[in-house]
Amino acid sequence: MGPPSITHLFHLPLTPLQDVIVTPGHSLYTRLVSRSWSQVGSNSSLWAQLLGGKGACVPLRGWPGGNAGVCPQPFPLGPFKIPQIRPLPGTRTALGWERSSRPRAAWGRLPGTAAVPSAMGPLLLVLLYLLPCVSGLPFYNGFYYSNNPNGWNPGNGHGEGVFNGVKLVVETPEETLFSHRGANVTLPCHYHYEPALLSLRPVRVKWWKLSENGAPEQDVLVAIGLRHRSFGDYRGRVRLRQDGEREVSLQIRELRLEDSGRYRCEVIDGLEDESGLVELELRGVVFPYQHPWGRYQLNFLEAQRACAEQDAVVASFEQLFRAWEEGLDWCNAGWLQDASVRYPIARARQPCGGLGLAPGVRSYGPRHRRLRRYDAFCFAPALRGQVYYLEHPEKLTLAEAKEACREDGAHIAKVGQLFAAWKFRGLDRCDAGWLADGSARYPVVHPRPNCGPPEPGVRSFGFPDPQSREYGVYCYRPR
């Protein structure tokens, strides 16, 4: 019984390594002849790593490449010389997978090595299948890489010692990019070599969104040459812009609230990879929100639903902190995106942490998402439509207010839309009006007598009786 049909063959401990089998078309075929490598690149599934006489890393066939660092599990092999390279006939490459057409009978022992007893075959298979479970193995994102767009390197000398003294540099903007919901945006990313290379080289590009506020990382796009693949909610909304030389910018169409965050652009050239960070933020406004029953009635899941119903999302800490810097002062604690509970204080006072504490964002820390109840801090994006106070000859009940907006070709406005109109459109009105959640509010940009407190803001009358005829209505007409 011969060894298992895999592309790479490794030997038992303390056996001198004389031969390494690799694919003739692979770019490392010629490189392995001349030098020992101490780092695994993104094609680690296709070759054996030599560790300066201390061992070798021989990955499984089909082991995902990704962006591996150092060899995670070297085998303690005996001292060896630079290996002889023996081609494996009939081997072909398809985006990182290798399949051998060599018959089992052709597997024999390599010159100068000890034969692997046939009884060791099952044990060898068990060891090989356990290897991917070892901690530290490369991350698998469902997309396999080969060394060029056609899946093999023609051996034209591109890879021969190219990074001896040559540095791959990735450039992204340091400043935060701002946009608004529904817009199209480009996240810039360029790369170059130092010193410059005259000829273009095929590279692999990966974009992903970083983990934050408890959300997992999200793969956005991977590309090899003209081929690309997008993932999840980004599928069909993203593409790689390659208008300029060595440009790999990411274009996102029809921005959504959840697109706000930090993105990483990674460029991979053979064994080298470098990356840069781009931060995207949607323009918006943070506002506190309470349940109609009053203060501290929302658990975390209910806070998420309440914000969504007001055309908003639960705010992140960064968004709340920026709102505090702009003057937001609120003494009631509310949920944030990471399930922590905080509140912003611009003016220290006794009921809000005491006079001995400086102004800032007070924190209760993380709280149980279902059992604990607070208010919510919501984040509403800048508007694409129009919020306006409907001029009507008489005051309306809540039901009449909704119908009046429909008759005017609009919808009754939501709380987040009113806050966004106040913040970004300068909506200033001293008339209280119904909103979709059953509350009555009005926006003031320029404080004046008989218009509430001396600070700008959105004033609230709470949640009046729906049958009351003391209020007008604010309507929203989308573009």
Tokens coding 164: 């001896």
Q: How many CA atoms lie within 13 A of 229 on its CB side?
A: 11
pLDDT tens for residues 365-380? 999 999 999 999 999 9
Residue 293's φ and ψ, nearest 5 degrees, are -80, -10
Would you state the pLDDT for residue 103? 35
Percent of the chain with pLDDT over 90: 51
6: alpha, beta or left? (left if phi > 0; alpha if psi -120 to 50) = beta
Would you state the pLDDT for residue 29? 35
Listed residue (1, 8, 89, 87) closest to 50, CA to CA: 8
Is the confidence at residue 431, as pLDDT, over 90?
yes
| Residue 218 burial (10 A CB sphere; 0-12, 13-18, 19+) | middle
User: If you average pLDDT over every residue of the chain, what do you get?
Assistant: 74
Would you state the pLDDT for residue 41? 38
Would you state the pLDDT for residue 462? 95
Q: How many CA atoms lie within 13 A of 132 on its CB side?
A: 12
pLDDT tens for residues 222-233? 999 888 899 999
**CA dist 398 → 33, 201, 315 (Å):** 81, 65, 28
Sorted by sequence, the CB contacts under 8 Å of residue 35 that are 6+ apart come out as: 82
pLDDT tens for residues 5-31? 333 333 333 333 333 443 444 443 333
pLDDT tens for residues 350-362? 889 888 889 999 9
**CA dist 69 → 111, 157, 374 (Å):** 32, 24, 44
pLDDT: which is higher, 108 or 431: 431
Tokens coding 25: 């078309």
Would you state the pLDDT for residue 96? 32
Would you state the pLDDT for residue 82? 36
Is the confidence at residue 2, as pLDDT, over 50?
no
Strands 204-209 and 261-269: antiparallel
Mean pLDDT to the nearest integer, 27-36: 38
Is the confidence at residue 423, as pLDDT, over 50?
yes
Please report the DSSP string for 161-214 in residue order. TTTSS-EEEEE--SSPEEE-TT--EEE--EEEEESPPSS----EEEEEEPPBTT
Residue pair 402/476 in contact by the 8 Å Cβ criterion: no
Would you state the pLDDT for residue 145? 33
Residue pair 478/417 in contact by the 8 Å Cβ criterion: no
Would you state the pLDDT for residue 214? 63
- Taking residue 47's Cβ as centre, other Cβ atoms within 10 Å add up to 25
Is the confidence at residue 456, as pLDDT, over 80?
yes
pTM of the model: 0.60
Residue pair 349/355 in contact by the 8 Å Cβ criterion: yes
Q: Is 314 helix (H, G, I), strand (E, B) or coil?
A: strand
Sorted by sequence, the CB contacts under 8 Å of residue 206 that are 6+ apart come out as: 67, 141, 219, 221, 222, 223, 265, 266, 268
Q: Which helix (H) or strand (E) holds 443?
A: strand 440-444
Range in 125-129, 198-202, 464-468 with the lowest mean pLDDT: 125-129
Tokens coding 176: 């935060």
pLDDT tens for residues 253-289? 999 888 988 999 999 998 889 999 999 988 899 999 9
Would you state the pLDDT for residue 353? 85
Range in 138-142, 169-173, 215-219, 261-265 with the lowest mean pLDDT: 138-142
SS in 3 state form for 261-291? EEEEEEEEECCEEEEEEEEEEECEEEEEECE
pLDDT: which is higher, 186 or 12: 186
What count of residues does the chain have? 479
Residue pair 65/140 in contact by the 8 Å Cβ criterion: no
Is the confidence at residue 396, as pLDDT, over 70?
yes
Is the confidence at residue 64, as pLDDT, over 70?
no
